[in-house]
Structure 1
Amino acid sequence: MWGAHAAVDAPNTIQLEMSNEVARSQAVNALQGRYRYHRSMDEELQAMQTLSDEDPVGGETNEATVETALRSGSGSHTIQVLVGGQQRELIIDTGSGKTAFVCVGCNNCGSKRRHQPFVLTDNTTYVSCDRSMTFQTSRGEPACMACENGKCRYGQTYVEGDHWSAYKASDMMQLSPSFEARIEFGCIYEQSGVFLDQPSDGIMGFSRHPDSIFEQFYRQKVTHSRIFSQCLTEGGGMLTIGGVDLARHTEPVRYTPLRNTGYQYWTVTLQSVSVGDPSNTLQVDSTEYNADRGCVLDSGTTFLYMPESTKDAFRLAWSRAVGSFSFVPQSDTFYSMTTDQVAALPDICFWFKNDVHICLPSSRYFAQVGDGVYTGTIFFSPGPRATILGASVLEGHDVIYDVDNHRVGVAAAMCDQPMQAAVELSLDPGGQKFHAEFDYSEAPQWMLAGITLLAVAGLINAIWVAAATEGEEAPARPTKPAQETTTTVPNDWQGEEFSFFLMQEDDDRQPH
């Protein structure tokens, strides 16, 4: 795995050359498919229909670090690791907590993976239900779904119907030759839906779940704290486990407290959304953003999802920012624009509790799907109720996920900055810390969750490459208004976006 990259060793540090390979995002391919589909349905109008401007609203330092090459996956971010001496490419997903990949014996599990199915070795062991290192969830759900012939059955099901089923196993996982731990994972024997078309071998979970990789490395005494950060950019970035790389930041970190919603997600309180001027906010009650699953930071989802109930308010805020209802960047609407015209459109900013915010530029809420044709990547979803801030929103920021201090930190950062031969990481990045706001109706479960884990030492720092959308760098603002054309795609293409956040309720409840 590492022999393919140039490595520079320094005290307590290893640096590896990052791969320059960037694969096309499956999610963008899906958007292009939507566009092609509609064109084939309406050749006379070239799949374009003029939209009037008057259209009404419708409806510390490091003890050790490791940096390892990552690839861009299909609409997702992936990391290269060794498990049982075999190379695996796994999707990094903050929206789920389980790690699993296809094993030998998996029938009808797709044929597009980069590697052959995992072969169990003499060091691989199946995990029985009473021997798992993880715990029950807060609702009393066991770590295993069932016991079959002494094996722990394990899986994940999503609202859309996609799923994978596996037997829980354990083996050594290496992020570098000096960073390894015995981890538990799912050995997939059956899967469906989006998983069949993925070139990656499986998924690596980073949510607030006891099976999450950062939790497992902590329990195995490889890392010192339950903290990790992601610094995403269009063409590259950094994943840091056990600490934070403050040197990349271009502004101080600000922290917002985590919410306990009963789900395992990284959920924060979204107070408002603005378009252009910070005062131009959507005129909706903040409860609309935070209902049910709440506002979730999810690197396993490519784009932005907002509740359907906020759609009209968004269109009104957009019209106030640009002077018309032109170029509203909602999904399934296509526009003829130049890169100049895209660059002229306003930022969309998300304002969280404690004065934390993330802004989304137009280059990340529009995707080019044809010659001079762009589509919006803001999806207004009728359910399940949630606001999902996907990778397109998180790019350009170092996002710090800190379990022990019950917070998420955000700082604008140089996520594409080249690696250094020696990297100093902070074990404790400082800043405001928070306490959990308990739901006292679940006090017995939360008391169990307070069992102290063993203290551990070390840091892991891993490079990663974000999935890049093709297109030019946006130039200066245009000198004249653009001619707008638009069309809406029928429902035949709904549900094609790449995402992993929509787990069924029994699967995504908050663990302890």
Structure 2
Amino acid sequence: MWGAHAAVDAPNTIQLEMSNEVARSQAVNALQGRYRYHRSMDEELQAMQTLSDEDPVGGETNEATVETALRSGSGSHTIQVLVGGQQRELIIDTGSGKTAFVCVGCNNCGSKRRHQPFVLTDNTTYVSCDRSMTFQTSRGEPACMACENGKCRYGQTYVEGDHWSAYKASDMMQLSPSFEARIEFGCIYEQSGVFLDQPSDGIMGFSRHPDSIFEQFYRQKVTHSRIFSQCLTEGGGMLTIGGVDLARHTEPVRYTPLRNTGYQYWTVTLQSVSVGDPSNTLQVDSTEYNADRGCVLDSGTTFLYMPESTKDAFRLAWSRAVGSFSFVPQSDTFYSMTTDQVAALPDICFWFKNDVHICLPSSRYFAQVGDGVYTGTIFFSPGPRATILGASVLEGHDVIYDVDNHRVGVAAAMCDQPMQAAVELSLDPGGQKFHAEFDYSEAPQWMLAGITLLAVAGLINAIWVAAATEGVEAPARPTKPAQETTTTVPNDWQGEEFSFFLMQEDDDRQPH
């Protein structure tokens, strides 16, 4: 099962190989389909012979359809694990916190998975449910969406409409023969959309969420710290849980603090974006990058997504770097180029708080979709209020996600080096540490929530007082802790289309 180089562990730390063989090709295939669609719309462009460096073919294509395919996990990295003694291949997603996979009895759940549906064992138990578990808790969300015959219904609906529904269960998950814990997961009985075509068996959540796998292993005392790192390559990479592999780094780790936006995502402050020379930055206010959900690091998304409000500034910065508007790498353009021309284009760098930066070379912001034809992979979208740095941006770096020290670390690294050749597992990578601070940009959001909670409490109290005054038996005061009976302010973004990690339900909110 594990293979010669599938896992390396030390006390309380483990390193696992990731795969991206199928998922990356699916994302590129979607771009190729977009290119073919564009060609079919204009027969005068025979084999793209009329494409020139100065005259990119853009225009409106079936963008929404193609972007939905790209944004639904097509660029995901996976790992192999054992659950209940059965092999599962699961998508690693830093943009969501739930783990779930298809179980026996799932109706119309697709047939492209690598393994047969999970069979419940004598050791598998369903998480029991009562009505109190459907209330919002101090962690900011209900433990169960609903109780059905004593089972806890669990699920996720994504903005495009894709969804999975499950019952929450628990069994032993083994990452290596000596690294295992009893974890809770969703036993999927129904799913739709892109999940029907996924070769993986399910998803493994790694966001800032109480159900995330690294959190569950920590609570089971298998690891001693809530830290993990991903070192991504185009074809796979390494996942380290409970520590960091310092031997892969080609430069020191630098840390930037996490933001408290109220969401569960790995959100950092993006201060500027440069093209070529570091001084050639986009002339926009940094609030454009950090509004609402902010700048999110998400390994479950393939490419780079930026707010549409930054598009014109990006084009101007690009023209300053290359001397013209040629080859702007936005997603709605196709260019005839040689590999040497692609290699000569400038890096695009992202600059974060505390002098941390990640640079994106041209080989990762262009994708080849035909013979000598390339398309840009930077998506400017009007719908989402966020900047998403997907796998193409994160590749070639060891990205360290550290909950306990409220930070994300970045170091250029040899992510494609064989596992046994570079293992220096460390429980504490050192470096600057941070404390959670109130995010003042989110003050209106939290004030509105507080006012709503006070209003609800006041209404309950008024009803009780009025009933007591009239001599009528008053409703019993709540006996549960106040946080279990509060209501949430409705989100206003259900109609937006976005990315794999963006959910329609309230549970994308960060646990408190």
The interval holding the TM-score normalised by the smaller chain is 0.7 to 0.9
Question: Residue 311 and residue 19 in structure 1: after superposition, are their counterparts in 2 closer, same or farther (change >3 A)?
Answer: closer
Corresponding pairs, count: 512
Question: Residue 340 and residue 168 in structure 1: after superposition, are their counterparts in 2 closer, same or farther (change >3 A)?
Answer: same
Partner-residue secondary structure (3-state), 2:91: strand
Measured after TM superposition, the shift of residue 463 of structure 1 is: 59
Q: Could you report, residue by residue, the CA deviation over 1:353-391 in whole angstroms, capped at 9, with x for unpaired residues?
A: 011000000000000111111110000011121100000
Please say if residues 130 and 150 of structure 2, whose CA atoms lie closer than 8 Å, have aligned partners that are also in contact. no
Q: Higher relative contact order at CA 8 Å, sep ≥6: structure 1 or structure 2?
A: 1
Within 1, Cα distance between the matches of 2:79 and 2:418? 18
What stretches of structure 1 of length at least 5 have no aligned partner? Answer: none
Within 2, Cα distance between the matches of 1:490 and 1:191? 25
Partner-residue secondary structure (3-state), 1:289: helix
Measured after TM superposition, the shift of residue 225 of structure 1 is: 0.1
Within 1, Cα distance between the matches of 2:250 and 2:193? 40
Alignment-derived partner of residue 246 in structure 1: 246
Measured after TM superposition, the shift of residue 326 of structure 1 is: 0.7
After superposing the two structures, state which structure 1 stretch, 207-216 or 439-448, moved more. 439-448
Within 1, Cα distance between the matches of 2:62 and 2:50? 58
Please say if residues 273 and 281 of structure 1, whose CA atoms lie closer than 8 Å, have aligned partners that are also in contact. yes
TM-score (norm 2): 0.81
Measured after TM superposition, the shift of residue 143 of structure 1 is: 1.2
Question: Residue 64 and residue 141 in structure 1: after superposition, are their counterparts in 2 closer, same or farther (change >3 A)?
Answer: closer
Measured after TM superposition, the shift of residue 142 of structure 1 is: 1.0
Question: Residue 329 and residue 404 in structure 1: after superposition, are their counterparts in 2 closer, same or farther (change >3 A)?
Answer: same
Alignment-derived partner of residue 146 in structure 1: 146
Q: Could you report, residue by residue, the CA deviation over 1:71-103 in whole angstroms, capped at 9, with x for unpaired residues?
A: 999521000000001100000000000000011
After superposing the two structures, state which structure 1 stretch, 478-487 or 148-157, moved more. 478-487
Please say if residues 13 and 423 of structure 1, whose CA atoms lie closer than 8 Å, have aligned partners that are also in contact. no
Runs ≥4 residues deviating over 6 A? 4-23, 49-73, 131-135, 440-498
Please say if residues 18 and 238 of structure 2, whose CA atoms lie closer than 8 Å, have aligned partners that are also in contact. no
Please say if residues 269 and 352 of structure 2, whose CA atoms lie closer than 8 Å, have aligned partners that are also in contact. yes
Question: Residue 500 and residue 84 in structure 1: after superposition, are their counterparts in 2 closer, same or farther (change >3 A)?
Answer: same
| Structure with the bigger percentage of helix | 2
Measured after TM superposition, the shift of residue 138 of structure 1 is: 5.5
Measured after TM superposition, the shift of residue 501 of structure 1 is: 2.0
Measured after TM superposition, the shift of residue 158 of structure 1 is: 1.2
Measured after TM superposition, the shift of residue 500 of structure 1 is: 1.3
Q: Could you report, residue by residue, the CA deviation over 1:324-372 in whole angstroms, capped at 9, with x for unpaired residues?
A: 1111100121111111010011100000001100000000000011111
Question: Residue 14 and residue 217 in structure 1: after superposition, are their counterparts in 2 closer, same or farther (change >3 A)?
Answer: closer
Please say if residues 318 and 325 of structure 2, whose CA atoms lie closer than 8 Å, have aligned partners that are also in contact. yes
Q: Could you report, residue by residue, the CA deviation over 1:419-469 in whole angstroms, capped at 9, with x for unpaired residues?
A: 227833111111111111136999999999999999999999999999999
Partner-residue secondary structure (3-state), 2:132: coil
Within 2, Cα distance between the matches of 1:418 and 1:362? 25
Q: Could you report, residue by residue, the CA deviation over 1:229-282 in whole angstroms, capped at 9, with x for unpaired residues?
A: 111122342111111111111111110000010100000000000000111111
Within 2, Cα distance between the matches of 1:450 and 1:205? 29
Please say if residues 66 and 176 of structure 1, whose CA atoms lie closer than 8 Å, have aligned partners that are also in contact. no
Q: Identity over aligned residues, as a percent?
A: 100
Within 2, Cα distance between the matches of 1:30 and 1:470? 68
Please say if residues 332 and 487 of structure 1, whose CA atoms lie closer than 8 Å, have aligned partners that are also in contact. no
Measured after TM superposition, the shift of residue 128 of structure 1 is: 1.7
Within 2, Cα distance between the matches of 1:423 and 1:458? 58
After superposing the two structures, state which structure 1 stretch, 390-399 or 465-474, moved more. 465-474
Within 1, Cα distance between the matches of 2:374 and 2:441? 48
Q: Could you report, residue by residue, the CA deviation over 1:11-40 in whole angstroms, capped at 9, with x for unpaired residues?
A: 999999998966752111110110111212
Please say if residues 17 and 79 of structure 2, whose CA atoms lie closer than 8 Å, have aligned partners that are also in contact. no
Alignment-derived partner of residue 108 in structure 1: 108
After superposing the two structures, state which structure 1 stretch, 295-304 or 456-465, moved more. 456-465
Please say if residues 9 and 421 of structure 1, whose CA atoms lie closer than 8 Å, have aligned partners that are also in contact. no
Question: Residue 135 and residue 468 in structure 1: after superposition, are their counterparts in 2 closer, same or farther (change >3 A)?
Answer: closer
Partner-residue secondary structure (3-state), 1:453: helix
Alignment-derived partner of residue 122 in structure 1: 122
Measured after TM superposition, the shift of residue 507 of structure 1 is: 3.0
Question: Residue 57 and residue 351 in structure 1: after superposition, are their counterparts in 2 closer, same or farther (change >3 A)?
Answer: farther
Measured after TM superposition, the shift of residue 109 of structure 1 is: 1.1
Measured after TM superposition, the shift of residue 64 of structure 1 is: 46
Alignment-derived partner of residue 451 in structure 1: 451
What is the correspondence of 1:68-467 to structure 2 with a 5 Å cutoff? 74-129=74-129, 140-420=140-420, 423-438=423-438
Question: Residue 176 and residue 241 in structure 1: after superposition, are their counterparts in 2 closer, same or farther (change >3 A)?
Answer: same
Partner-residue secondary structure (3-state), 1:326: coil
Please say if residues 239 and 463 of structure 1, whose CA atoms lie closer than 8 Å, have aligned partners that are also in contact. no
Within 1, Cα distance between the matches of 2:111 and 2:125? 26
Please say if residues 157 and 503 of structure 1, whose CA atoms lie closer than 8 Å, have aligned partners that are also in contact. yes
Larger-Rg structure: 2
Q: Could you report, residue by residue, the CA deviation over 1:290-343 in whole angstroms, capped at 9, with x for unpaired residues?
A: 001100000000000000110111111111111111111001211111110100
Question: Residue 498 and residue 397 in structure 1: after superposition, are their counterparts in 2 closer, same or farther (change >3 A)?
Answer: farther
Question: Residue 249 and residue 17 in structure 1: after superposition, are their counterparts in 2 closer, same or farther (change >3 A)?
Answer: closer
Within 1, Cα distance between the matches of 2:265 and 2:95? 6
Question: Residue 484 and residue 314 in structure 1: after superposition, are their counterparts in 2 closer, same or farther (change >3 A)?
Answer: farther
Within 2, Cα distance between the matches of 1:136 and 1:142? 4
After superposing the two structures, state which structure 1 stretch, 442-451 or 428-437, moved more. 442-451
Within 2, Cα distance between the matches of 1:319 and 1:474? 71
User: RMSD value over aligned CA atoms?
Assistant: 17.8
Within 1, Cα distance between the matches of 2:38 and 2:423? 50
Q: Could you report, residue by residue, the CA deviation over 1:141-174 in whole angstroms, capped at 9, with x for unpaired residues?
A: 2111111000000111111111111110000000
Question: Residue 84 and residue 510 in structure 1: after superposition, are their counterparts in 2 closer, same or farther (change >3 A)?
Answer: same
Please say if residues 77 and 92 of structure 2, whose CA atoms lie closer than 8 Å, have aligned partners that are also in contact. yes
